[in-house]
């Protein structure tokens, strides 16, 4: 069975258009096991009952930004080792360094294309 058939992914973004673009790209790669959430707290709640291998999260979200979500994931035993891909329009050095300190696996700068997203995912989970 191919990795893409087993991989479970959670897409977290407050903008439904962005969630849709990422979900459609995942579908194009053959990844079918995809859940989504519109913010960090709801993502954490869903992850309690739907464990995933990879979280793809926007940085800029109300209430809890992507790095705060990452911190919450890394602070909780069952989600400590989940892969984490941060997608941001603001990929400045300070934010990237903070993400690395928190255990971010990779990041992708907006705007991105499907090939860039696939490459960023494969750098975390292996070849799809």
* pLDDT for the residue numbered 3: 86
Domain boundaries, given as residue ranges, for the chain:
3-123
Tell me the CATH architecture of domain 3-123. Answer: 3-Layer(aba) Sandwich (3.40)
Q: Please list the rounded mean pLDDT of every run of 10 residues in the chain (128 residues).
A: 90 96 96 97 95 97 96 95 95 92 96 96 95
* Residues in CB range of 58: below 8 A, 6 or more apart: 12, 13, 14, 15, 18, 66, 86, 87, 88
Q: Give the closest residue to 61 by CA, choosing from 9, 113, 11.
A: 11
* b/e per residue 77-94 (b: at least 16 CB within 10 A): eebeebbbbbbbeeeeee
Q: What is the pLDDT of residue 56?
A: 98
At 4 the pLDDT is 86
What pLDDT, in 10s, does the model give residues 71-83? Answer: 999 999 999 999 9
Q: Which of 41, 40, 47 is nearest to 13 (CA)?
A: 40
pLDDT digits (tens, 9 = 90+) for 11-22: 999 999 999 999
Q: How far is CA 2 from CA 24, 45, 52, 84, 106, in A?
A: 19, 28, 16, 21, 22
- Per-residue confidence (pLDDT) for residue 16, from 0 to 100: 96
């Amino acid at each position: 069975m191919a990795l893409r058939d087993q991989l479970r992914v959670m897409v977290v973004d407050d903008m439904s258009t962005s969630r849709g673009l990422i979900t459609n790209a995942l579908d194009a790669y053959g990844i079918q096991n995809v859940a989504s959430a519109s913010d960090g707290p709801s993502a954490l709640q869903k992850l309690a009952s739907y464990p995933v291998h990879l979280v793809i999260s926007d940085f800029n979200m109300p209430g809890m930004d992507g790095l705060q979500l990452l911190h919450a994931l890394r602070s909780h035993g069952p989600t400590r080792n989940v892969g984490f891909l941060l997608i941001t329009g603001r990929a400045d050095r300070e934010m990237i360094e903070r993400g690395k300190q928190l255990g971010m696996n990779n990041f992708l700068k907006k705007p991105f294309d499907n090939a860039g997203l696939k490459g960023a995912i494969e750098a975390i989970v292996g070849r799809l």
